[in-house]
Structure 1
């Protein structure tokens, strides 16, 4: 396994850099295709959220892989490599696994313990599968990360510590007051119909807003979401008309430009007597930052949330908060799962060699039996069958113990060399082993053991 991750997040880069590094859906697709075309890369997946961009790859050379992945992130984000490099982090092999598992559990989130990251990891895996850039390693890795994240949420109280970014943002708008206390009776406008916007709309509907309006470029998606929540759907072009009537606006689209300009918000505010609350969860931003300067408007965006979350993260890191015990339990789960995943991957690595060895042994047995039958033409069918079964049983028994043991040893730290030793001792053809790997052959030894 040569797993490599190169990325940047709210922990390593300022929001201004993250915003410029954000990848559209088309950019993610092109990035994966170009990554797979790069010489040191065999598989690739990209995890892009509102506060992180990470490129995962199976590489055959570490330094070349880091250089290639960093360059590709720069090219597709549009941020120059010299400017981007100081904010990039690199994790390799077990550290890369540990990082993704921690991310899946919400330990690396802006709001510790939030669970929405699991949906984003699932989306990253689905894109890699759709584009055929995620092979065995990344499929195994991301699927296991999802299981680890779900385990952390089911076996610990990390949910008590964690909120979704939506809930956190809404509470920041109200000065840390629970959404259910200040949202009832307000008129809400949600711009976008993706996963984050859907979560925001659901949260507001449950909190008891008096009116819920969903605006989206694809009106059909807005209608589906509004229909499930008792809201009203409008096309994105109608946002200007809805804005003066909205007490609360949540925007999270995939637009590359501003959805709400300072002029639009200013004009809407002049028609209102009450304060307007704006929550921008998009990256890059949907709402003009100039809105911060308008009277009668409160804007919370990713930058605001990052500043608010940094204080909470500090409390957690010193184990001072009430969630410290749950966080520690999740970290223990992550460490155990990383060890188990590494052992499983090392064991899988030797399977093609074991299969190739057994195939070679079967070929030798078949050849020798054929020669024996040629020298003893008077044998009847029953005798031939008994001889063949006896020889095959002898070979199976001779190979059983060493192949089971070598797979056990290969699963231990430092066990990667056992596959090479097996190939050398039995003079196995490397091309035969590679052919087994390409075919993704099942493990016959598992059935015999």
Structure 2
């Protein structure tokens, strides 16, 4: 028994039990067989001893002599096996232990297995079982810590948000919730404030969930671009909902309430819906009709759908906005020849050049994202074919190089940025960095630009937050333009799109009506359930009374006739009220119908579940 114990203790390592057994562990069954060399010889010897068919003279022995010989042979085998067996098993166990030790040493010296076995790694199997029992939480990344709502500033509590009364419909009556927008935009807020309020796209889900932690905010969404930073919210109390959002904005950005208040715009209910529809359609953009904003609105819905604080009202509103944006661009001419921020920057740069063309001008672009791609596209269309792209990594910059083979595009990594700037006359900055990349001290000692560009090195920073310091304007040989300086190009664009914008507004009114109709339909659902539930309760009660009066002799056919009769009467009586509840007419009239029917039929929450009353 001791020998067998040693064998089984050592065998798991002597014989591969892992899916990734090393060469040193790969012991085949043949090698185990070789470890017991007596096996085959012992069988041959046994056959020789037992198989005694004839006597010395070749004659057949009597049967009793053969049986006695077999008996002696069997007893000899038993004695030999009893004596030798434990010794052999002990030797086999010692051999297996030695193999285990040498195998472990060889395995520890190997870093990469040279051969994979097809055994089962019990350690891995147990770990996998533990992971299954622990559930999906064991493999999930740690949750992001959300900041709890900060105490409100007393001045914020005393502040009364504008827009308490609107000319449109009161969503509090329609849905018992108000939709509102709080934000700043390029139209009235300087870039110095906007860049402090900006929220990177990867932080939108965190911002949404933090906003939803506030007591008066039921749902939230964030739209942060180079031209705007807006928060959309849903709250039963409009004024306190706005205060909660402004409180979050001040603590998120570090901008005080006094500093932020002059630039805030507020939209409530229908005006908030109008605003998001116009934003999606490009009507509220710095450059009317620009297409990039639609993809950013889509991002709000995509990111929001993964956040807990993004609920059904905002999800439906942003879906309506996406539909509206697509429809305006397909059914009007607002996108015909439309320009983006990148194309406006390229246009402004050409306007500021003394020669008004790019011949002989050295151009650099810092960054290789979407904005840079649009820059290259518009520069190439203006016959600017010599430029250098500086980026943190090569692949994205090289993609631009391959996408525009007609241009002579050089690619440099960020460590060479200052050298590239020194050799350039016009520098476009469109990176995703949140820090200042270029300051006056970096540019002051660079060689002055040639007279071809007026001896001035021009920087066009379309990043938000900005990546260039405003002290560059203090240098006689440098000048910085940011997003706010693009208005010169914008004014020319607005006149060309005035008629298309008017056509777009008509389409947006239709989209708004659809959204408000959807909101009203949500309020009709409980009334429909209660009305049908109450009618069913009355039907069942009266049916039971009729059955009890008619007795127990009713056949199945008669019972079915009674059932069909009562159900038919109920459905015909409910047809007109149900049609009124499902109508898609005026939203305010629809809401009024819902309230009237609720009062006329005395509907309560208990009526939603049919029941038999006596």
For residue 326 of structure 1, the aligned residue among 484, 490, 500 is: 500
For residue 419 of structure 1, the aligned residue among 586, 594, 605 is: 594
For 2:431 and 2:203, locate their aligned partners in 1 and report how far apart those are by CA, in whole Å: 15
- Alpha-carbon contact 2:301-2:318 (below 8 Å) kept: yes
Q: Which residue of 1 aligns with 2:462?
A: 281
For 1:380 and 1:266, locate their aligned partners in 2 and report how far apart those are by CA, in whole Å: 104
- Alpha-carbon contact 1:6-1:70 (below 8 Å) kept: yes
Q: Which residue of 2 aligns with 1:240?
A: 418
For 2:265 and 2:606, locate their aligned partners in 1 and report how far apart those are by CA, in whole Å: 36
CA shift at 1:199, angstroms? 2.6
Q: Structure 2 length normalisation: TM-score?
A: 0.61
For residue 481 of structure 2, the aligned residue among 266, 286, 300 is: 300
For residue 442 of structure 2, the aligned residue among 244, 264, 270 is: 264
CA shift at 1:97, angstroms? 0.9
Q: Which residue of 2 aligns with 1:158?
A: 334
For 1:242 and 1:381, locate their aligned partners in 2 and report how far apart those are by CA, in whole Å: 93
- Alpha-carbon contact 1:244-1:272 (below 8 Å) kept: no
Count how many residue pairs are aligned between Structure 1 and Structure 2. 424
- Alpha-carbon contact 1:259-1:287 (below 8 Å) kept: yes
For 2:212 and 2:199, locate their aligned partners in 1 and report how far apart those are by CA, in whole Å: 17
- Alpha-carbon contact 1:192-1:253 (below 8 Å) kept: yes
Deviations 1:258-283 (A, max 9, x none): 12233334455558786444321111
CA shift at 1:204, angstroms? 3.7
Matched, 1:344 2:518: yes
Q: Which residue of 1 aligns with 2:237?
A: 61
- Alpha-carbon contact 1:185-1:208 (below 8 Å) kept: no
For 2:605 and 2:378, locate their aligned partners in 1 and report how far apart those are by CA, in whole Å: 57
Matched, 1:15 2:191: yes
Tell me: CA distance 1:45–1:184, structure 2 relative to 1, closer, same or farther (3 Å).
Answer: farther
For residue 581 of structure 2, the aligned residue among 380, 398, 406 is: 406
Give SS of 1:113's match.
coil
CA shift at 1:72, angstroms? 1.5
Q: Which residue of 2 aligns with 1:250?
A: 428
**Residues 211-226 of structure 1: matches in 2 within 5 Å?**
211=386, 213-217=388-392, 220-224=395-399, 226=401
**Largest Rg, 1 or 2:** 2
Structural RMSD (CA): 3.4
Deviations 1:288-340 (A, max 9, x none): 2223344554532113224x267558xx5xxxx34332222222323343234
CA shift at 1:224, angstroms? 5.0
- Alpha-carbon contact 2:364-2:427 (below 8 Å) kept: yes
Matched, 1:100 2:297: no
For residue 350 of structure 2, the aligned residue among 167, 174, 180 is: 174
Give SS of 1:158's match.
coil
CA shift at 1:174, angstroms? 0.9
Tell me: CA distance 1:211–1:44, structure 2 relative to 1, closer, same or farther (3 Å).
Answer: same
- Alpha-carbon contact 1:410-1:417 (below 8 Å) kept: no
Structure with larger RCO (C-alpha < 8 A, sep 6+): 1
- Alpha-carbon contact 2:235-2:241 (below 8 Å) kept: yes
For 1:370 and 1:226, locate their aligned partners in 2 and report how far apart those are by CA, in whole Å: 82
For residue 142 of structure 1, the aligned residue among 318, 321, 327 is: 318
Tell me: CA distance 1:296–1:407, structure 2 relative to 1, closer, same or farther (3 Å).
Answer: same
Deviations 1:85-124 (A, max 9, x none): 1211111111111111122222221122222211111112
Tell me: CA distance 1:71–1:249, structure 2 relative to 1, closer, same or farther (3 Å).
Answer: same
CA shift at 1:422, angstroms? 3.5
For 2:387 and 2:547, locate their aligned partners in 1 and report how far apart those are by CA, in whole Å: 83
- Alpha-carbon contact 1:223-1:233 (below 8 Å) kept: yes
CA shift at 1:233, angstroms? 5.5
Tell me: CA distance 1:383–1:265, structure 2 relative to 1, closer, same or farther (3 Å).
Answer: farther
- Alpha-carbon contact 2:347-2:489 (below 8 Å) kept: no
For 1:187 and 1:298, locate their aligned partners in 2 and report how far apart those are by CA, in whole Å: 16
CA shift at 1:68, angstroms? 1.3
- Alpha-carbon contact 1:187-1:209 (below 8 Å) kept: no
- Alpha-carbon contact 1:185-1:210 (below 8 Å) kept: no
Tell me: CA distance 1:198–1:400, structure 2 relative to 1, closer, same or farther (3 Å).
Answer: farther
CA shift at 1:252, angstroms? 2.4
Matched, 1:190 2:365: yes
- Alpha-carbon contact 2:364-2:390 (below 8 Å) kept: yes
Deviations 1:322-359 (A, max 9, x none): 43322222223233432343233223332333234334
For residue 211 of structure 2, the aligned residue among 19, 25, 35 is: 35
For 2:568 and 2:391, locate their aligned partners in 1 and report how far apart those are by CA, in whole Å: 67
CA shift at 1:363, angstroms? 5.4
